[in-house]
Amino acid sequence: MDGKLQRQVLDTAALPPRERFGMWLDMLAGSPTPLRVRTAHADDFAARAEFIELGRMRLIRYRYPSLDCVRTSKLIRRSDPDYYLLALTLTGTSQAVQEGRRARCRPGDLTFYDCSRPHEVSHHADAAGPAYARSVVALVPYDALPLPHRKLARLFAGRMSGSEGVGALVADFLTRITAHPDQYHAADAERLGAVGLDLVATLLGRNLVSEDAVPTEIRRRALREQVHGYVRQHLGDATLDPGRIADAHHISLRSLHRLFEDEETTVAAYIRDERLARCRRDLTDPALGDRSIQVIAARWGFRDKAHFSRVFRAAQGETPQAYRARHLESARIVNTTASAVNPARTY
């Protein structure tokens, strides 16, 4: 076991076409929130579901041609686990209906509903777009969100933007974790789940126009994650500094510095360390071996060559040139050894 975040995958392609939809129905029947399902593609339901457990939050990445689902009162009486569901539409058009409200979602939109109340959900691929409808959902227990259930009812089957503000951060979290679980360690699953829950709680609080309902510490952690995301998106801009970050998040410079006190670092140090991490990655990439060190440094916000060399040497104990040469030579030796063990065959 390599210690990476684990995922379970169900892919109907493993079965003959006419058995695929039955496999999907069996999966849904065994889930915490079973549904009654229809599709126009029952004769060949090519679909895939990937499950990732992050502490108390479960993430599922779906791909299918089309689905129309209903969770009835009868199914709820049979299985009522007290879950909320937050869904991000990636491709196609989706729709959620609950208690008289209806949300029609396009790619980048989020919707939220209560699995313990009757609802309808549909998701179809666009005729002129990709062949599959894709989505990511987060299944969250009631008591994992510090928000009153009666207040959240106002958001059921509502559409929320996943392209701006906290919504964009939530969408980025859902897509990054489910698209690249191998980039994260299994030991971090609980912490990643806690971050996800903080972001979801903050998103819902803002859409309730009652952010004060979200505990201060949760809002603080969510804001810190939002700042982290902003920094990562703007590392290549040499003008990125604490003042610009504070302005972008409508907080004072003093408040920004307080956010980083728990991390035992400063805003400037965080920016520098993130830039150095990207530079180290590029310097050790054989595919970028013909790219100059100065170009790599500039790509991540180090515009002055001498300054970059000083900062890099202080952090790594060697010059960028020596660091690159050492790692590329190691990669060359490994590749040469692998070629010797597994020589190419000609037929």
Q: How far is residue 241's CA from residue 65's CA, in Å, rounded to a whole number? A: 45
Whether residues 281 and 153 share a domain: the answer is: no
Whether residues 211 and 284 share a domain: the answer is: no
Q: Which CATH number goes with the domain that contains 322? A: 1.10.10.60
Task: Please give the pLDDT value at position 213.
Answer: 56
Q: Is 48 within 8 Å of 63 (Cβ atoms)? A: yes
Of the two residues 309 and 228, the one the predictor is more confident about is 309
Whether residues 106 and 213 share a domain: the answer is: yes
- The pair of structure tokens assigned to 170 is 């939530």
Task: Please give the pLDDT value at position 81.
Answer: 77
Task: Please give the pLDDT value at position 347.
Answer: 31
Q: Which CATH number goes with the domain that contains 39? A: 2.60.120.10
Q: What is the secondary structure of 204-269 as a DSSP string?
A: HHHHTT-GGGS-HHHHHHHHHHHHHHHHHHTTT-TT--HHHHHHHTT--HHHHHHHTGGGTS-HHH
pLDDT in tens, 336-346: 554 554 544 43
Whether residues 81 and 198 share a domain: the answer is: yes
Q: Is 321 within 8 Å of 293 (Cβ atoms)? A: yes
The total number of structural domains in the chain stands at 2
pTM above 0.95?
Answer: no
pLDDT in tens, 8-52: 999 999 999 999 999 999 999 999 899 999 999 999 999 999 999
Final residue of a structural domain among 165, 195, 229: 229
Enumerate long-range contacts of 283-291, CB under 8 Å, 24 or more apart: 283/320, 283/323, 283/324, 283/327, 284/323, 284/324, 284/327, 284/328, 284/331, 286/328, 286/331, 286/332, 289/328
Whether residues 283 and 219 share a domain: the answer is: no
How many other C-beta atoms can be found within 10 angstroms of the C-beta atom of residue 219?
Answer: 18
> Which residues pair with residue 138 across a beta bridge?
59, 86
* Cα separation values, 291 from 234, 267, 298, Å: 21, 29, 11
Whether residues 212 and 317 share a domain: the answer is: no
Query: Which residue segment(s) compose the domain that 39 sits in?
Result: 8-229
The answer to the question of residue 26 being in a domain is yes
Whether residues 224 and 100 share a domain: the answer is: yes
Whether residues 194 and 280 share a domain: the answer is: no
Task: Please give the pLDDT value at position 78.
Answer: 86
The answer to the question of residue 121 being in a domain is yes
The answer to the question of residue 270 being in a domain is no
pLDDT in tens, 136-162: 999 999 999 988 888 888 899 999 999
The answer to the question of residue 55 being in a domain is yes
The answer to the question of residue 267 being in a domain is no
Final residue of a structural domain among 194, 229, 264: 229
The answer to the question of residue 269 being in a domain is no
Whether residues 100 and 173 share a domain: the answer is: yes
The answer to the question of residue 253 being in a domain is no
pLDDT in tens, 65-107: 999 999 999 999 888 779 999 999 999 999 999 988 999 999 9
Whether residues 175 and 297 share a domain: the answer is: no
Whether residues 189 and 297 share a domain: the answer is: no
The answer to the question of residue 175 being in a domain is yes
Whether residues 46 and 173 share a domain: the answer is: yes
Average predicted confidence (pLDDT) for the chain: 88
